[in-house]
């Protein structure tokens, strides 16, 4: 079955009474070039396992199944289960799990399904939970080779920005702490059914073996990062003071102790400077 042929896909979906849910981020790829390219670029090979998030009608799943030893794909919408039973009928190496990815113990899933195999994550993410999913995948420190995901273009800019540069935000710092991030290729809105309002980008996150800076207390570091970036385009003092419940004088003194100007803005801070600032704030 050609899952990039709109007529075929619509026929299967309507046979199962399926209608697209905007709130679940259901925009399915119908451009025949996108999924093979994504599956190739994620680097999965014959001995490997893949976790997919949100198979939809299975258009990316079948490409992953052709290349991997095994695919476990996690779909929240139970209405898609009978659809997937039909579209993935020929794929013996695919298991569909009906669950919310954010409530799934992925480390346990890897142990159960992929013991001894290199594991990849490859997905066209539901955009309403892009950052929570990316952070969940990275913070769980899963033993995965890489995470190759399609996200909205604006999210790709933020996730792949360099720390200390204009597009960076709290999520940029967090991603960079756990992984290196790169953009692979752009995908126009016309590649989906129904077409979303914005263009997309496929990105690859490769988990680091060691963090780029030594941090004594990650929880404190990330609360400083979140607070510093909470009032975008303003000086970091305000966000740090309200986010950490510290007086502005105390924050100003910590900035000075870390060798930073009081007027500094969060998006100009390097990872190293944020680490030093955390030390100074909690000394």
Whose Cβ is closer to ligand SAM: residue 76's or residue 269's? 76
Q: Do the bridges between strand 192-193 and strand 119-124 make them parallel or antiparallel, or are there none, so unpaired?
A: unpaired
Nearest distance in Å: CB 146, ligand SAM: 18
Nearest distance in Å: CB 227, ligand SAM: 28
Query: What is the total residue count of the chain?
Result: 283
Nearest distance in Å: CB 121, ligand SAM: 12
Q: Do the bridges between strand 200-207 and strand 179-187 make them parallel or antiparallel, or are there none, so unpaired?
A: antiparallel
* DSSP letter string, 236-251: HHHHHHHHHT--HHHH
Whose Cβ is closer to ligand SAM: residue 166's or residue 197's? 197
- Smallest CA-to-CA distance from 201 within 250, 154, 163, 142 is with 154
Whose Cβ is closer to ligand SAM: residue 75's or residue 201's? 75
Q: d(Cα 101, Cα 242) in Å, to the nearest integer?
A: 33
H or E, element range at 123: strand 119-124
Nearest distance in Å: CB 73, ligand SAM: 8
Q: d(Cα 86, Cα 233) in Å, to the nearest integer?
A: 50
User: Which residue is associated with the tokens 């950052």?
Assistant: 131
Q: Where are the alpha helices (DSSP H) in 17-93?
A: 34-42, 59-67, 81-87
Nearest distance in Å: CB 201, ligand SAM: 13
- Classify residue 191 by its DSSP letter: G
Whose Cβ is closer to ligand SAM: residue 26's or residue 273's? 26
Nearest distance in Å: CB 103, ligand SAM: 8
Whose Cβ is closer to ligand SAM: residue 97's or residue 215's? 97
- Classify residue 46 by its DSSP letter: T
Whose Cβ is closer to ligand SAM: residue 78's or residue 115's? 78
Whose Cβ is closer to ligand SAM: residue 58's or residue 164's? 58
Half-sphere exposure of 187 (CA within 13 A, CB side): 28
Residues at the contact surface with ligand SAM, assessed by CB under 6 A: 24-29, 53-56, 59-60, 74-77, 80, 100-102, 124, 126, 129
Closest residue to ligand SAM, judged by C-beta, is 54
Nearest distance in Å: CB 174, ligand SAM: 20
Rg (CA), the chain: 21
- Smallest CA-to-CA distance from 207 within 136, 116, 148, 145 is with 145
């Amino acid at each position: 079955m050609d899952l990039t042929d709109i007529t075929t896909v619509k026929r299967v979906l309507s046979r199962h009474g399926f209608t697209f849910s905007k709130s679940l981020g259901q925009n399915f790829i119908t451009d025949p070039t996108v999924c093979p390219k994504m599956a190739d670029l994620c680097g999965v090979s014959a001995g490997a396992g893949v976790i997919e998030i949100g198979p939809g009608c299975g258009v990316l799943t079948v490409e992953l199944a052709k290349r991997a030893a095994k695919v476990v794909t996690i779909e929240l919408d139970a209405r898609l289960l009978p659809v997937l039973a039909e579209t993935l009928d020929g794929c013996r190496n695919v298991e569909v799990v009906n669950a919310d990815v954010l409530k799934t113990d992925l480390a346990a899933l890897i142990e159960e399904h992929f013991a001894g195999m290199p594991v990849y994550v490859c997905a066209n993410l539901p955009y309403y939970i892009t950052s929570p999913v990316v952070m969940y995948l990275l913070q769980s420190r899963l033993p995965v080779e890489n995470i190759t995901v399609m996200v909205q273009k604006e999210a790709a800019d933020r996730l792949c920005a360099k720390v200390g540069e204009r597009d960076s935000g709290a999520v940029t710092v967090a991603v960079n702490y756990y992984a290196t991030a790169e953009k692979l290729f752009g995908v126009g809105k016309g590649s989906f059914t129904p077409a979303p309002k914005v263009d997309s980008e496929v990105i690859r996150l490769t988990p680091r073996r060691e963090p780029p800076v030594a941090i004594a207390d990650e929880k404190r570091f990330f609360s400083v990062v979140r607070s510093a970036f909470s009032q975008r385009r303003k000086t970091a003092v305000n966000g740090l003071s309200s986010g950490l419940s510290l007086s502005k004088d105390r924050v100003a003194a910590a900035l000075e102790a870390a060798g930073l100007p009081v007027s500094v803005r969060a998006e100009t801070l390097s990872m190293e400077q944020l680490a030093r600032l955390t030390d100074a704030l909690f000394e």
